[in-house]
Structure 1
Amino acid sequence: MWSGDQLDLGAYLARIGYEGPVGDDGELLPDLETLYAVHRAHTRAIAFESLDVLLGRPVALDVKAIEDKLVHGRRGGYCYEQNSLLAAALERIGFQVSGRGARNRTRGDTLLPVTHAVLVVTVAGQSWLCDAGFGHQGPLEPVPLARSGAEVEQGEWTYAVREEEDGVLALSLLRGDTWRDLYAFSPQRYHPVDYVLLNHYSSTHPRSAFIGQVIVQRPGDAVRTALVGRELTRLYPDGRSERRPVARGELVAVLDREFGLRLSERDVEELGRVNLAED
């Protein structure tokens, strides 16, 4: 389903700095401990970013293209790339992985289309939400789906999944004393071909949030960091946030320092032209 047989698993594990459990034969076991370790290493190592969309480049979702970009090229990606890569790796290890399509709820009561890709992984009969592609507010680790409303602590951050009508599941994040919905998804399974369609909308439609602006984000244990347009934001578990503008001349340095993105000369040149056009 996820073309895990085409993935260079060793290169992927090296890219994310995997230091989790390994079986006696040197292979990774499809158990819960491994799932946690892979998920956390991935979200720590690979930033959420949509620079290719900003630069007008096509976003390919075949495994080899994603591997070339995120693993060998050490770039980041957005949800379709991130979770397709994670799904391929988990499938290669031996996990049962299925896709879901989610509606972003971070914009208040506005009903948005299904444009976010998430994964559901089954381990020993229990389902876990896995998502390496929601940016700075997304979970660092798998979130159990078996107990509606149960709070799950991930470092200083707390998540919960509650069940709504028609089997819809909503993921929420606690910031300060307030629960804030991140997204909601139905039980309907999504396949890689469905993500191709969603990816086309997100990367080309003029109303897509990724068109015409820099979006780079990263979750963290103590602070979550996001660069949207020219504004750098830091979120804290107690509900505080800090914002500051990023000057055009410091953009490349910020991408490196804050998000671990070391761009090629071509990327820097094209990004500079886009920013000049915005000015």
Structure 2
Amino acid sequence: MTARSTPAPDPDRSWGGADLDLDAYLARIGYRGPLAPTEETLRGLHRAHLAAIPFENVSVLLGEQPRLDLKSVQDKLVRRERGGYCYEHNGLFAAVAERVGFGVACLAARVSVGAHGLRPATHVVLAVVDLQGMAWVADVGFGGTGLLEPIRLADGAREQQGDRGFSVHRVDAGEWVLRTTTDEQTTDLYSFTLEPRYRVDHEVGNYYTATHPDSPFVRGLTAQRTSAGERSVLRGTRLVTSRAGGEEAVELAPAEVSTVLADVFGIVLEPAEAAALAGKVEAAAQD
């Protein structure tokens, strides 16, 4: 995979970069930096995307299965200024990277953090190749404990990003692991292989994630937003804000959730959606 030597895009394997409304996307994330397919550009786009577009599952919790075609993802995350989960975030970012001129592959990952057994490979992570032929792990769709910026796709690569360290490890011939380190501990976030996956593959995982009763996105609310100085995570009625000075946790009433979604995460709901969400959150709290 190289940045500029690929043939004409195969519509089944392309991420739709040619159809992307790049100006609208850049306005949405507030990015005004360079657009050459370089490390600087990739890092800048990655940071800006995370700070502007929240990770959230409100639509799923209200019974909607997200559509993964680029038109639908752009409409939701860019024009309607909502958020989404990994399939939506990283699908959009793949189209952006493709449009700018990077080489892009979507990879399937198994989330390790919080797991009590082997989980299905339902997370999506990106391998991005810049103009110099350097390969990077990029992931704008993991939520509050994920990467702030891309990290080299190389065994032993390490970076300090904000309050967390991240590292990439090749654990056997075909498997890689992304780890995060805080003052307290080191945790495997997820494992992945380098076999490219395509939108048709993601449709299967998306169906499971949005509809299966064991999926955490069906069982409870989450909204997360990440920047270099602050990580905000809402799970159910508990809002945790992490800054350099420590954590602050607040317990909300179900009726307060929609206000916090708007004020903290920029997710503005219609009154009927807010009422339905409050009911879902209250029911989940009683389970």
TM-score by length of 2: 0.89
Q: Distance in 2 between matches of 1:252 and 1:190?
A: 35
Letter in 1 for 2:16: S
Residue 210 of structure 2 aligns to a residue whose secondary structure is helix
Q: Distance in 1 between matches of 2:115 and 2:258?
A: 32
Letter in 2 for 1:203: A
Q: Is the CA contact (8 Å cut-off) linking 2:109 and 2:123 kept in structure 1?
A: yes
Q: Distance in 2 between matches of 1:57 and 1:150?
A: 38
C-alpha deviation, 1:233, in angstroms:
2.3
Q: Distance in 1 between matches of 2:71 and 2:33?
A: 24
Letter in 2 for 1:14: A
**Residue from 127, 139, 150 that aligns with 2:135:** 127
Moved more, 218-227 or 72-81: 218-227
1:75 and 2:82 matched: yes
Structural mapping, 1:263-274, within 5 Å: 263-274=269-280
**Residue from 14, 19, 29 that aligns with 1:6:** 19
Deviations 1:108-129 (A, max 9, x none): 5521111101100011222100
For structure 2, list consecutive stretches of 5 or more residues without a partner in the other structure.
1-13
Partner of 2:217: 210
Q: Is the CA contact (8 Å cut-off) linking 1:175 and 1:237 kept in structure 2?
A: no
Deviations 1:85-143 (A, max 9, x none): 10111111111100100011111552111110110001122210010000001111111
Q: Is the CA contact (8 Å cut-off) linking 2:111 and 2:119 kept in structure 1?
A: yes
1:107 and 2:114 matched: yes
1:17 and 2:23 matched: no
1:166 and 2:173 matched: yes
For structure 1, list consecutive stretches of 5 or more residues without a partner in the other structure.
22-27
Letter in 1 for 2:33: G
Partner of 1:178: 185
Partner of 2:6: none
Structural mapping, 1:1-279, within 5 Å: 1-21=14-34, 28-108=35-115, 110-123=117-130, 124-146=132-154, 148-235=155-242, 241-275=247-281, 278=284
Q: Is the CA contact (8 Å cut-off) linking 2:165 and 2:181 kept in structure 1?
A: yes
C-alpha deviation, 1:264, in angstroms:
3.1
Partner of 2:5: none
Letter in 1 for 2:18: D
Letter in 2 for 1:260: G
Q: Is the CA contact (8 Å cut-off) linking 2:112 and 2:188 kept in structure 1?
A: yes
Residue 228 of structure 2 aligns to a residue whose secondary structure is coil
Q: Distance in 2 between matches of 1:223 and 1:189?
A: 32
TM-score by length of 1: 0.91
Residue 12 of structure 1 aligns to a residue whose secondary structure is helix
Question: Share of identical aligned residues, percent?
Answer: 41
Q: Distance in 2 between matches of 1:71 and 1:234?
A: 25
Deviations 1:154-192 (A, max 9, x none): 233211111101231111111114211111101211111
Q: Distance in 1 between matches of 2:142 and 2:258?
A: 22
- CA distance 1:274–1:156, change in 2 (3 Å): closer
Q: Is the CA contact (8 Å cut-off) linking 1:161 and 1:169 kept in structure 2?
A: yes
RMSD: 1.8
C-alpha deviation, 1:66, in angstroms:
0.5
